[in-house]
Structure 1
Amino acid sequence: MSPLKKVTLVTILVSFYMFSSCVSSTEFEVGGEDGWIVPESNKTHGDIFNQWASHNRFKVDDTIRFKYKKDSVLVVSEDEYKKCKATKPQFYSNNDDTLFKLDRPGLFYFISGVSGHCEKGQKMIIKVMETESTPDSPSPSSPSSSSSPPSLPATHKKSNALKTTVQFSSSCFVVFVIMTISVFGLV
């Protein structure tokens, strides 16, 4: 293989790596090993789901998995979250294993749909970060204290991400194929 082809192959591999890091996403299991459960006591466990969420960093296209038994999960407005009552949830699932895609930056409010569970602490706020920011862009203003999760000491086990997946767009794949064909002189 000629030196020029070797350099081109290295360039392709570096580009492939860069494309993969730009489109990777992570799947998180809500609550870690314990899952989406009714806390035993609000006084002893505090706000366990907001504590769990505060130990993780979420970005657009990440997914969160709720594992539970005889329960449900709802995405609601901030007001419905505060009242633990949802009349028109944005999302509802009760299939014991719910995967929810974080499709935008900002705050997401989750509650249990089973009567009394939210009041016992089965609720959570997730803040999804902007995917990219440039050094020249102004920093976002801090959210009001009423819409951000409280800052609590970590008393619940930290959960690691379950897995990181890499998804390639069709345009990235086409660029990769064209570069590979040009390196090996197949055209």
Structure 2
Amino acid sequence: MDPEAVRRSLSKPSADSFAALPAHLIEDVALNGIRLDDIEHGRVLYSCTSPGGVLIGGVIATLVDVIGSIALSTCGLPTTGVSLDINISYLDAAMIGEEIEIEAKVLHVREPITVISVKLRKKATGKLIAEGRHTNGSGGAASLQALRCTINDDPNFSTHPPKTALGVVAALMAVQGRGSAAAAVAQGLALLCLLLHSDFAGATTYNVGDSRGWTFNTASWPNGKSFRVGDVLVFKYSPSVHNVVTVSASGYNSCSTPRGARTLRSGNDRITLGRGTSYFICGVSGHCQSGMKIAVTAA
């Protein structure tokens, strides 16, 4: 294109042309046809069929924003706050007609900062299309004691708030307003010390089933162990025989795998515990019924 053609293509549209557009055009395009497959505290799972052409970056960014906020709303907060930062890694293309699953998990839900992980995968293969982190600010003043991390089972994703002084100060300034810069600097340095000495400094790694690994009759393995938020479970098994499926309490009790449940198949899966009880089963037919399931509570 010649410079004049570029100029014409970039000319600012008139106000009337914007007025003719629907109020929520982008959201309507991005959310058209998505289906809710699973919902629990701090997590939602949606699926959809990729619309005509590839799934473009702007649609993915909108999904990270909107689906992430929906996941946050399951935590019982009065508001989901305002976006402070959205980071997205685009890893693959989703072609026309492909089935996609969108999983959003709340990683940190203590005022004034909330952090949500959103992953888009190809349903047929589990291959990542995009991975995003959505950071929100609630608008409340920072509490040094309250600002701690609650981590969901995602060891390969950065789940901590910023661990540099500048990162913490920037987040606080965004929430409090730039007029509070001096207070933000002081609080940021204190928060940095707190974060660097948080629960995760003493995290323990557990091999599920100990020397036997992830196998039959493992249901009693957690008995007598004291798990903490940030501890890591390592599931070692033969991927040609077993897998690891994250389920709800109902799925654990009934040995059933809900549609769209997260399934791991590497044979050496690492899962970081969040607060509360996490449930895992083997999704291969009959294995859960043979004791290949665990319920782990982290305090």
Question: Pairwise mapping of residues 1-187 of structure 1 onto structure 2 (< 5 A)?
Answer: 20=197, 22-24=199-201, 25-39=203-217, 48-49=218-219, 51-69=220-238, 70-88=241-259, 90-102=261-273, 104-129=274-299
Q: Secondary structure at the match of 1:54?
A: coil
| Alignment-mate amino acid for residue 250 of structure 2 | D
CA–CA separation in structure 2 for the residues paired with 1:94 and 1:115: 15
Shift of 1:53: 0.7
CA–CA separation in structure 1 for the residues paired with 2:249 and 2:260: 11
Task: Indicate the structure whose relative CO is greater, using CA pairs within 8 Å and at least 6 residues apart.
Answer: 1
8 Å contact kept, 1:75–1:110: yes
CA–CA separation in structure 2 for the residues paired with 1:21 and 1:87: 34
CA–CA separation in structure 1 for the residues paired with 2:198 and 2:258: 40
8 Å contact kept, 2:246–2:263: yes
Shift of 1:91: 2.5
CA–CA separation in structure 2 for the residues paired with 1:36 and 1:105: 22
Provide the alpha-carbon RMSD of the alignment. 2.1
- Tell me the residue number matched to 1:172: none
CA–CA separation in structure 2 for the residues paired with 1:93 and 1:124: 15
Number of positions where the alignment pairs a residue of Structure 1 with one of Structure 2: 103
8 Å contact kept, 2:200–2:231: no
Q: Between Structure 1 and Structure 2, which shows a larger proportion of strand residues?
A: 2
Q: Secondary structure at the match of 1:74?
A: strand
CA–CA separation in structure 1 for the residues paired with 2:260 and 2:234: 18
| Alignment-mate amino acid for residue 57 of structure 1 | S
Flag the 1:63–1:89 CA change in 2: closer, same or farther, 3 A. farther
| Alignment-mate amino acid for residue 83 of structure 1 | S
8 Å contact kept, 2:229–2:298: yes
| Alignment-mate amino acid for residue 33 of structure 1 | S
CA–CA separation in structure 2 for the residues paired with 1:22 and 1:126: 17
Shift of 1:26: 1.2
Flag the 1:87–1:34 CA change in 2: closer, same or farther, 3 A. same
Shift of 1:57: 1.3
Unmatched runs of 5 consecutive residues or more in structure 2: 1-192
Where has structure 1 moved over 2 Å in runs of 4 or more? 19-23, 88-91
Unmatched runs of 5 consecutive residues or more in structure 1: 1-15, 40-47, 130-187
CA–CA separation in structure 1 for the residues paired with 2:244 and 2:298: 18
| Alignment-mate amino acid for residue 271 of structure 2 | F
Q: Secondary structure at the match of 2:296?
A: strand
8 Å contact kept, 1:110–1:125: yes
User: Percent identity between the aligned chains?
Assistant: 30
8 Å contact kept, 1:77–1:89: no
